[in-house]
Each structure stands twice: as structure tokens, then as C-alpha cells.
Structure 1
Amino acid sequence: MDSENFYVDLVLYNRLLQCFVLVDLKIGKLKHQDIGQMQMYVNYYDRYVKQDFEKPTVGIIICKDRSEAVVETTLPKENNTIFSKEYKLYLPSKDALKALVK
């Protein structure tokens, strides 16, 4: 765009949902700029890459820490295409995983 290059970390295609899924990995705390960046990626794919029969592109931001207030304030109320989730540095113990499954 305007002689600048932008790259999302992962581009996947969900065959069942018939939509692109864009994943951006952040090593620190989620910032409103990160959400805006993902919105740009989603807009680009929806406008220039996806076909008419495909569903809207989904954006997922995986980060070390997130603030629900930042997410809610940055995204529109009716947002259903951009999501954020925290990652964990270590897997839970075997017992904790068993308890989670039950």
C-alpha cells in the first residue's frame, strides 16, 4: 500500500466456515495500535482477497497480556470478526489439564 509493505504473521483458510483467518502474534501487552493493525489486515482481505461467496475475514491477536477495556473501547460494539486472547508461557500440570477437561 503506497509503497509500504505490511505482513500479518499467519494466514489460514477455514474450509468449513469458508473464510480467511488472520493471526498476529504479539510478545507483549496488547495495545490499541495492534487492534488497529489487525483491522487494517482484515479490511484488506475483505476488500481485495476474499471472493463474494466467502464469509468475512476473521482476525485473531494472540498476546502476552490484554486489557478487556482496551479491546472493548477500540473495537466497534457489533464487532464479530476480531478477537484477542492471551497466551501462556507454560502448559498447566497434568492434573490441572484433567480438571479443566472435566
Structure 2
Amino acid sequence: MKSLTNNYINEIKAILSNARRQAYRAINSAMIDAYWKIGERIVLEEQNGKERADYGKEILQNLSAILTQEFGKGFSYRSLREIRQFYLTFADVEKWRTLFAKLTWSHFQRVLKVSK
């Protein structure tokens, strides 16, 4: 069997590492977009555009149960409140699109915790 050079192996490793980084960025971007759209649906559809519905807690609890059953962890009542707040904070998507591509959901969660 022919021996592999370190340069050859390092190039293959670099290709794989780059592909993984690109995949992570693509997934992160898709999830940020999905969370924004979910927040928009909660606010615009279920709350008729108001920042908070009188019965919002019940809506989010029911939605949480349905999404958790279908998609597993990650859709607790608290998470859905954060997703709603994410939309309210960054409602002008065109203004924030570049930022969405650069930050992760964890970054946005930290930003949401900063008081106005």
C-alpha cells in the first residue's frame, strides 16, 4: 500500500473541515430564518399584530405541546416566548438580514436578555 503524505492528508482534512463549517452556517441560517418566521406567525396570525395576546400563554403552551410531540425538544413555552420576542425585536427583517447571517441563535438569545 502506498504511503500517504502529510500534505495530502492535511488537504483532505481541510476540505472536510471547510465543508462542515459551511454546513453549520447553512443550518444556522435556516434555523434563524425559521425562528423569525415562527415568531412572525405567532404575532401576526394568532395575536392579530398585538405585542401580546390576552390568552397568549395558553396559545404558546398548546403550540409547545404540539411542536414538541412532532419535532422533539427545543419548543418549550419559554423557547416559543423567545422566538416571539426575536421577531418583535427584529421585525424589520431587511434591516437585520446581514446580522442574521453572521450570528447564531445563542447570540440572539443573549441579545434578547439585554434590557431595553
Quickly name the TM-score band, shorter chain normalised: under 0.3
Q: Higher Cα Rg: structure 1 or 2?
A: 2
Q: Does 1 or 2 have the higher relative contact order (CA < 8 Å, sep 6+)?
A: 2
Task: Give the TM-score normalised by structure 1.
Answer: 0.28
Q: If the length of structure 2 is used for normalisation, what is the TM-score?
A: 0.25
More strand by share: 1
Flag the structure with higher helix content.
2
